[in-house]
Amino acid sequence: MKALLIVDVQNDFCTGGVLAAKGGEEVAPIINKIAPNFDLVIASKDWHPIKTKHFDKWPPHCVQETHGAEFHSDLNTANIDLVALKGTGTIDDGYSAFEATNINLISFLKQNKITELYVSGIATDYCVLSSALDSVKEGFKTFVVTDAIRGVNVNPNDSEIALQQMKEAGCILIASEEI
């Protein structure tokens, strides 16, 4: 069985958001198109308290219950079976969807007999990267949907480097039209 993981397609990571990945919202229509091909669709949300050590590194973003933390309106949420909330503590970065605190993501995927995980969303160089690397570590055959991800690129090459890291870790890079 195969699952789609949609990482953090939230307002604060899209155009106009406080930590926007360039063209972040462009992943939404691609994700909407591929989502019906999966047995299970999980969407993560960065879900931070107002005060967290994470905001020593980053401008405050995706604060719980705020507009910035909502899914971008272009994302079809009807496709989503489960929302995984991460970064909910006062010290954790919560980059990986596997750090979700409202659900044990590994157990949930295993209970649903998922063996293949396809990773999409934002940001290529942080949360997509961490989630994909954890997915490999947990033994899932891991795909990264290259046209359905966008990076923050604090340094201009960060997304490129992240893609290389994912590839070296064993992720399979795939275009949405190949799914």
Query: Could you say which of 14, 62, 127, 171 is catalytic?
Result: 127
Q: Is 127 a catalytic residue?
A: yes
Q: Which of 14, 45, 62, 86 is catalytic?
A: 86
Is 171 catalytic? The answer is: no
Q: Which residue, 90 or 115, has its beta carbon nearer to ligand VGL?
A: 90
Which 108-147 residues touch ligand VGL, going by CB under 6 A?
122-123, 126-127
Task: Let me know if 57 is a catalytic residue.
Answer: no
Q: Minimum distance between the CB of residue 49 and ligand VGL, rounded to whole angstroms?
A: 14
Q: What is the 3-state secondary structure (H, E, C) of the chain?
A: CEEEEEECCEHHHCCCCCCCCCCHHHHHHHHHHHHHHCCEEEEEEECECCCCCHHHHCCCCCECCCHHHCECCCCCHHHCCEEEEECCCCCCCCCCHHHCCCCCHHHHHHHCCCCEEEEEEECHHHHHHHHHHHHHHCCCEEEEEEEEEECCCCCCCHHHHHHHHHHHHCCEEECHHHC
Q: Which of 5, 6, 8, 135 binds ligand VGL (CB under 6 A)?
A: 8
Binding of residue 171 to ligand VGL (CB under 6 A): no
Q: Quick one: which of 18, 32, 33, 58 contacts ligand VGL (CB under 6 A)?
A: 58
Q: Exactly one of 4, 45, 46, 52 binds ligand VGL (CB under 6 A); which one?
A: 46
Active site residues: 8, 86, 127
The residue ranges that bind ligand VGL (CB under 6 A) are 8, 13, 19, 46, 58, 122-123, 126-127, 152
